[in-house]
């Protein structure tokens, strides 16, 4: 099944690429599609599933300005695709040069690169200034913007359905990736986790950007795990974390962790000049 229900009127899709999660929230006249997905075939399958549900995409939202969260497919139609203002600014910068597709190409997983529709990547509109909710005709979807992982990162909280769409945090397969270009990578990440913890009491299901969905207890456990990982990075300790090491679900995660540790050490040795 393309879309799997996780709460009343909320369905998710899992991509073959890095277990990326897309979320669909059903509304009065159509669906809100969050972080639509990765390959052309997957995006077209989501569009077909929405047609079958008679819920065309009427709005979309990108949780943050990374390529894997800002894709789109013509078959999903021309609904407004929203993000935070900082997300839009980052995407405009990425698409700014004439060779942006070539520059991005080395970052795409090679086994999927040919199937990723780059042409509509990042065409995001900022939600109106100071919006607290996604502007659409459906259950209220709160925007929880914070500075962890990337500029303009936002979790979405579908309060009346008890669903938290977390973006690239609280994953069971990816360790936290701090934003090395951000003002304070470690403290900003910890503050982002505090934002998620602030709504945890009302969460029944969490949808991470990558990996498995979970319940409220799982959300709390993953917040604790992410916090322990980031705190270990801060303190220069090796984290005790099941997402890295010999039994990690993704074997390349240990290398990514090492690269992150090294980059953070280099940044400390010579801080970026503002």
Q: Please check whether residue 190 is in contact with residue 86, taking contact to mean a CB–CB distance below 8 angstroms.
A: no
Task: Specify the stretch interacting with Zn ion by CB under 5 A; choose among 80-88, 141-149, 203-211, 233-241.
Answer: 203-211
**Residue 171 in tokens:** 């994953």
- Which residue from 71, 63, 82 is spatially nearest to 126, judged by alpha carbons? 82
Residue 248: strand, helix, or coil: coil
Instruction: Work out whether 179 is an interface residue with Zn ion (CB under 5 A).
Output: no
By beta-carbon proximity to Zn ion, the closer residue of 68 and 241 is 68
By beta-carbon proximity to Zn ion, the closer residue of 37 and 162 is 37
Our CA angle for 154, 200, 185, nearest 5°, is 45
By beta-carbon proximity to Zn ion, the closer residue of 68 and 179 is 68
Instruction: Work out whether 209 is an interface residue with Zn ion (CB under 5 A).
Output: yes
Among 68, 145, 172, 226, binds Zn ion (CB under 5 A): 68
Q: Please check whether residue 30 is in contact with residue 115, taking contact to mean a CB–CB distance below 8 angstroms.
A: no
Shortest Å distance, C-beta 149 to Zn ion: 9
By beta-carbon proximity to Zn ion, the closer residue of 55 and 188 is 188
Instruction: Work out whether 14 is an interface residue with Zn ion (CB under 5 A).
Output: no
By beta-carbon proximity to Zn ion, the closer residue of 58 and 169 is 169
Q: What is the torsional sign of CA 102, 17, 200, 229?
A: negative
User: Which residue is associated with the tokens 């969050």?
Assistant: 34
By beta-carbon proximity to Zn ion, the closer residue of 176 and 209 is 209
- Strand 81-83 versus strand 125-126 pairing type: parallel
Task: Specify the stretch interacting with Zn ion by CB under 5 A; choose among 60-68, 149-157, 175-183, 187-195.
Answer: 60-68
Shortest Å distance, C-beta 128 to Zn ion: 26
User: Which residue is associated with the tokens 């669909």?
Assistant: 24
Task: Specify the stretch interacting with Zn ion by CB under 5 A; choose among 36-44, 123-131, 152-160, 207-215.
Answer: 207-215
Neighbours of 50 (CB within 10 A): 24
Distance CA 196, CA 173 (A): 18
Task: Specify the stretch interacting with Zn ion by CB under 5 A; choose among 75-83, 127-135, 205-213, 246-254.
Answer: 205-213
By beta-carbon proximity to Zn ion, the closer residue of 39 and 55 is 39
Among 168, 179, 188, 241, binds Zn ion (CB under 5 A): 168
Q: How far apart are the first and last CA of the chain?
A: 48
Q: What are the phi and psi torsion angles at 175 (to 5°)?
A: -70, 160
Residues forming the site for Zn ion (CB under 5 A): 68, 168, 209
């Amino acid at each position: 099944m393309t879309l799997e229900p996780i709460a009343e009127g909320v369905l998710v899709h899992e991509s073959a690429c890095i277990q990326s999660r897309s979320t669909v929230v059903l509304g009065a006249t159509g669906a809100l599609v969050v972080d639509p997905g990765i390959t052309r075939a997957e995006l077209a399958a989501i569009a077909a599933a929405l047609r079958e549900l008679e819920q065309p995409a009427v709005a979309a939202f990108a949780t943050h300005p990374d390529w894997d969260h800002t894709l789109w497919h013509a078959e999903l139609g021309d609904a407004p695709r929203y993000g935070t203002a900082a997300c839009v600014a980052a995407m405009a910068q990425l698409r700014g040069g004439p060779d942006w597709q070539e520059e991005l190409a080395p970052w795409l997983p090679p086994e999927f690169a040919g199937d990723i529709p780059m042409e509509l990547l990042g065409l995001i509109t900022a939600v109106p200034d100071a919006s607290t909710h996604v502007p659409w005709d459906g259950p209220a979807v709160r925007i929880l913007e914070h500075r962890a992982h990337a500029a303009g990162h936002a979790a979405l909280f579908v309060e009346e359905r008890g669903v938290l769409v977390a973006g690239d945090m609280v994953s069971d397969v990816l360790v936290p990736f701090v934003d090395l270009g951000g003002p304070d990578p470690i403290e900003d990440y910890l503050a982002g986790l505090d934002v998620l913890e602030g709504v945890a009491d009302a969460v029944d299901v969490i949808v991470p950007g990558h990996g498995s969905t979970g319940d409220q207890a799982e959300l709390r456990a993953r917040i604790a795990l992410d916090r322990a990982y980031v705190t270990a990075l801060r303190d220069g300790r090796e984290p005790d974390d099941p997402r890295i090491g010999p039994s990690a679900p993704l074997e390349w995660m240990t290398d990514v962790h090492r690269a992150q540790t090294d980059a953070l050490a280099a940044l400390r040795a010579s801080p970026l000049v503002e």
